[in-house]
Amino acid sequence: MRRLLDEVRTFHDACLRGEYYDSFDVNSKNYMRTSEGTEAFMAEFKRLIEKCIRASAKGPQSTAREAFELLFALLRRLDRDPDSVVFFADEGGSWQVGVDWRAALPAYFRCLADGTPAEQFVREVDRAIADFADYDRPKHLATARRVANAEQRVALRSLPVREQRRSPRT
């Protein structure tokens, strides 16, 4: 499990250093193209998130949780400033990475539920859903309720079930 966290930290740090940033001159013929660096980023991200999902079913939850959170931090950075991590010829953001949120969020919520105070659990569940999968909010909240302890389930009742219409991030 420690090895997974080390791999994710190494990837996270490499992304912040710009090691996956690979630009090219964009024109009307190639604006839909994805750079090799961006493709490498997406492939490694998917590999690591799948390892996190598998790790959530075994071993210490806190380690898998930390790995998930480092990966989520990269996605949030992509949404704030796409070109700070990788190069998108056209519109960029976390949605282009193609994470299977129906697999990733339940695994993350299992890790999060393990030993997290109710208020923090609710805050992080709400944040993850709002940031990445608000279109499927009711399903993800139901998943969070299934893995939550009694105190966390009570606290989850404070969250709106419907999609949150949020203004674009600045």
- What are the sequence ranges of the domains in the chain? 1-92, 100-170
Highest mean pLDDT among 22-31, 42-51, 80-89, 159-168: 42-51
Distance, CA of 109 to CA of 13 (rounded, Å): 24
| pLDDT tens-place string over residues 65-112 | 999 999 999 999 988 877 767 656 566 667 778 899 999 999 999 999
What average pLDDT does range 37-55 have in this prediction? 92
What is the pLDDT at residue 93? 67
Q: How confident is the model at residue 28 (pLDDT cuts 50, 70, 90)?
A: low
Q: How confident is the model at residue 19 (pLDDT cuts 50, 70, 90)?
A: confident
Across all residues in the chain, what is the average pLDDT? 85
What is the pLDDT at residue 88? 65
- C-alpha of 170 from chain center: 19
Provide DSSP, 21-76.
Answer: -------TTTTT-B-HHHHHHHHHHHHHHHHHHHHTTSS-HHHHHHHHHHHHHHHH
Reading the block at residue 167, the tokens are 């203004």
91, exposed or middle or buried, with CB in 10 Å at 0-12, 13-18, 19+? exposed
Say yes or no to pLDDT of 30 above 50. no
What is the pLDDT at residue 170? 41
Reading the block at residue 31, the tokens are 């604006």
> What are 34's strand-pairing partners?
88
